[in-house]
Amino acid sequence: MKPVTPRVAALLSEPELRALLERYRRENWRGVQTAVWQARIVEQTVEDNGEATFDQLAGVWSFPENATILDIGSGVGAFVIACHRRGLRAYGIEPDRIGQGGSITAIQIASRRTERHVFTVATGENLPFSDRSFDLVTMNQVMEHVSDQRAVLREAARVLKPGGAIYVACPNYLRFYEPHYKIFWIPLLPKTLGRLYLRARGRSPTLLNQITYTTNSHVRRLVRDLGSPYATIDLHREKFLEKCEHSSFLSLRASIVGRMAKLPVIGPATTWAALRFLSWTEGGVEMVVVRKNDEHSGPSQLEQPEF
């Protein structure tokens, strides 16, 4: 484990945060994203209050009292800081190997946004924590950036307490779109062809070399390999079924599908087909993996994670 150099500067103001983010995007994402997209993402990051993950978990999994949280791939720290605002103990790890590399890293920026020493350089394949240390492990837009997705998920499961949850969100590479380069993309395009395509468009293939494709079915297989102690909730599937139940679709086409799904004969087939279509076309994968309670489990081996 590589500790982050202790922070001595004052906490970042919003203008200072924006300036560091602009420098970080410019150095790490040059040749990957256009200047327009970099500026747009900087503004989104400045405005991000880290609450989105809480919204996604609402109604699916409840935070226990004094919950301890690990954010794998914590970026510039928005979610960890949001946890602290809620009185939760949260920690973040970040390898910061995305893009071209630069003089400023995401974890250096994160460490200057809080007075707590809760961020460290580490990889998801080798978490520096004891078994059953956390109530919640989050991996938001991380799985596509790791080299060994199976190992990362197993590590997340290892450090998870009984009754705890793993939140996984990542792109769906069955779409005709690459969400990092922000360009048209052939689903699961072989990397050799992808590099040629990117060069033809004047883009650097560096980030593509660091990406491992993710799809709904692939993530499901990885979770299934964890074994019977783990149950999976597909959030996109649950939201679709809820909209069918309450007829709350906004578009006319989706409303027609929702009505058909309620019919006695063709309803099940319609639901199956709609869910299959969603798994191909949905912009991302979003799941909550819950570890079932173990009556024979003792207390966590690590009451408070330390770096």
Residue-level pLDDT at 299: 42
> Computed from CA positions of residues 10, 14, 17, 23, in that sequence, does the dihedral angle turn out positive or negative?
negative
Q: Could you tell me if 116 and 61 are in contact, meaning their C-beta atoms sit under 8 angstroms apart?
A: no
pLDDT of 303 reads: 44
Q: What are phi and psi of 89, to 5 degrees?
A: -90, 115
Cβ(110)–Cβ(49) under 8 Å?
Answer: no
pLDDT at 305: 58
Q: What DSSP designation does 204 have?
A: -
H or E stretch at 232: strand 230-234
With beta carbons less than 8 A apart as the criterion, state whether 73 and 124 touch. yes
pLDDT recorded at residue 277: 74
Could you report the average pLDDT of every consecutive run of 10 residues in the chain (307 residues)?
54 94 92 95 96 92 93 96 95 79 86 94 94 97 95 97 96 95 96 97 94 94 93 85 70 74 80 73 88 60 49
Reduce the DSSP state of residue 32 to 3 states and report it.
coil
- DSSP state for residue 143 in the 8-state scheme: G
pLDDT at 104: 87
Per DSSP, 190 falls in state -
